[in-house]
Amino acid sequence: MKKIFILTGEPSGDKLASEVIKNLKKINQNIQYLSVGGENLKSLRIKSIYDLKEITYLGFTSVILNIFKINKKVNETVKAIHNFKPDLVFTVDSPDFTLRVAERVKRLNSNIKTVHYVAPQVWIWREGRIKKIKKYIDHILLLFNFEQSYFDKEGMSHEFVGHPLLEDKSKIAIDINQIIEKNKALISIFAGSRKSEIETLTPILIDFIKLMNMKYKDFIYVFHSTKENVKLIQFYINKEGLDNCEIISDEKIKSHILKKSVFAVAKSGTVSLEICNSKIPSIIIYKMGLINYLIIKMLVKTKYANIINIAAKKEIIPELLQTKCNPENIFRHVSSFLEDPKKIKNQIIEIQSILDTLKIDESSSLKAAKSLNIILE
């Protein structure tokens, strides 16, 4: 029986990994798994060697402050992989953690195959990383077609598999009226998956909702959350006594809620692609510590944070970052969309033209699973 160790570093990576492994289990039932994962991999009955929350940190300063804990987790993970003796290590996103582990594992045993899913964003910063990565990663699975040229340049083995968030998975009909109050318009809220993101962004979003409530009476605000973060978000909602906020953590329901929404406010990240694919108008927000921001500003070589804006080379989706990420500014932008149907229509049309260049014909997760199975053999 073949063995695969799955290594993720945050909830979004856990979700991506689970979709691939779900497909791989259908293709090949003769594989044993062990992981560093979260709820999604656990739902596939794959054991995690420790809680994913123990390694989820936000920004440079958080990493520096927790460097000893992180190094301890790297050592613990490398030891667990060495003891498990896998045929393949499947690393997913979170390169500053997962690739450090992969490098150490490859040094210990060069016979272990290594595949990384979700390339580091070398088109944004640190393009030179590819030279180092190719020394310990045997194959890389790319989400975007335009990434291929960067890896071609360095002669690194790669495959474009597409982005799983651009797939339409909501085939089961769900009556959301049983979940959300009938005759209310929904606004989806995405405050992030890391605790540090939620602690930073949720108070801002709560104040934004309070401003909205002063002008609009018929909206329900639905926070899309991981199961681990429900209590934290609920704390902020209860603190302000808001009665028109809901929290959804069930993955089967989230996409249905999103598709029924009239608007979405989301933290900058991959979730924006899912929103765009659902044809929901949106803005993105993000805020981090000043030191983290200044470091990133020096290193990043793109004008925009959002992948749609980067691909379009212009701001289609408003980006409210740092000082622009405040309740009044979010309220102003959301209101301007809600009161201008033409503005909403234009954003959706422009986004769809960009998405057409990013999609593939078959399931991204299935294509990634097929690639893993071939490499495993």
Q: Rg of the chain over CA atoms, in angstroms?
A: 21
**Cα–Cα distance, 92 to 88 (Å, whole number):** 13
Which residue, 187, 192, 189, is CA-closest to 287? 192
Residue 187 pairs in a beta bridge with: 221, 263
Q: Residue 252 burial (CB < 10 Å; 0-12/13-18/19+)?
A: exposed
The predicted pLDDT at position 230 comes to 96
The predicted pLDDT at position 166 comes to 82
Could you tell me the two tokens for 348? 């959706």
Q: Residue 341 burial (CB < 10 Å; 0-12/13-18/19+)?
A: exposed
Could you tell me the two tokens for 241? 């006594």
Which CATH number does 176-355 carry?
3.40.50.2000
Q: Rounded to 10 degrees, what is the CA torsion of 178, 191, 96, 77?
A: -40
Strands (DSSP E) contained in the chain are 2-8, 31-36, 88-92, 113-117, 139-142, 158-160, 185-190, 219-224, 245-248, 261-267, 282-286, 319-321
* Domain ranges within the chain, ordered by starting residue: 2-162+360-376, 176-355
Could you tell me the two tokens for 15? 């979700």
Could you tell me the two tokens for 21? 């492994």
The predicted pLDDT at position 126 comes to 56
Return the SS3 of 319: strand
The predicted pLDDT at position 60 comes to 42
- CA 130, distance to chain mean position in Å, is 22
How many distinct helices (H) and strands (E) make up the chain? 16, 12
**Cα–Cα distance, 259 to 236 (Å, whole number):** 25
CATH of 2-162+360-376, one of 3.40.50.2000, 3.40.50.1820, 3.40.50.920, 3.90.650.10: 3.40.50.2000
Task: Report the relative pairing of strands 113-117 and 31-36 from DSSP bridges.
Answer: unpaired
Non-local (6+) Cβ contacts of 272 within 8 A are 266, 282, 284, 306, 307, 308, 317
Give one DSSP letter per residue of 174-206, joined into a string.
Answer: --GGGTS-TT-EEEEEE--SSHHHHHHHHHHHH
The predicted pLDDT at position 150 comes to 87
- Phi and psi at 305, nearest 5°, equal -95, -30
pLDDT in tens, the chain (377 residues): 999 999 999 888 999 999 999 999 999 999 999 999 999 999 999 999 999 888 875 444 455 556 777 789 999 999 999 999 999 999 999 888 999 999 999 999 999 999 999 998 765 555 678 889 999 999 999 998 888 988 999 999 999 999 887 876 555 555 566 556 666 899 999 999 888 899 999 999 999 999 999 999 889 999 999 888 999 999 999 999 999 999 999 888 898 999 999 999 999 888 899 999 999 999 999 998 777 777 667 666 678 889 899 889 899 999 999 999 999 999 999 999 999 999 999 999 999 999 988 888 889 999 999 999 999 98
Please state, in angstroms and as integers, the Cα–Cα distance from residue 159 to each residue in 102, 283, 367, following that order: 19, 31, 10
User: Is-contact 300 125, C-beta < 8 A?
Assistant: yes
One fold for 2-162+360-376 and 176-355: yes
